[in-house]
Amino acid sequence: MTLTPEPIRLTGTIASYHAHVYFEGPDQRAAAERLRTAIAERFVVRLGRWHEAPVGPHTLPMYQVAFETTLFATLVPWLMLNHQDLSILIHPNTRFPRRDHLRDGAWLGPRRALLVERLPEDAPEADGAGVANTQPARPLPV
């Protein structure tokens, strides 16, 4: 297979990140709940609502954590150590939702299927992190 050279992309085109926390069955849901609480206690993020059934390109129940690019270096290592075997997709938000999810994201735990046809190739603008809805009380270190 020959790979076509692609232009270098700038990290400044990443407006925010999402971490999608997937769960399957009551044990994993309980783990996802503990993780959600632990995130809220430590990080200024926007926690999305619980999706108890697959939604959009996602093939399992999940919730989304939207966060600013400045948080990547602390939140992602923390998730690496604390994902409790849950599948988590961490993806950039640029103007290209399809490749953000399918090509350019990183997985913790087992990789899960995504529905390609539910992801637009491009979007008028990249999703920002939105307004944070957590108020961490704990001091660092996380």
Binding site for Zn ion (CB under 5 A): 18
Shortest Cβ 124–Zn ion spacing (Å):
17
* Cβ closest to Zn ion, residue 42 vs residue 89: 89
Distance CA 98, CA 113 (A): 13
Per 3-state DSSP, the chain is made up of helix, strand and coil in percentages (nearest 5) of 30, 20, 50
* Cβ closest to Zn ion, residue 30 vs residue 106: 106
Shortest Cβ 91–Zn ion spacing (Å):
6
Token pair 């994993």 is found at 28
Shortest Cβ 42–Zn ion spacing (Å):
21
* Cβ closest to Zn ion, residue 18 vs residue 42: 18
Q: Which residue is nearest to Zn ion (CB)?
A: 18
DSSP string, 78-111: HHHHH-TT--EEEEEESS-HHHHHHTS-EEESS-
Shortest Cβ 140–Zn ion spacing (Å):
27
* Cβ closest to Zn ion, residue 42 vs residue 114: 114
Question: Cα 83 to chain center, whole Å?
Answer: 12
Tokens of 67: 């966060």
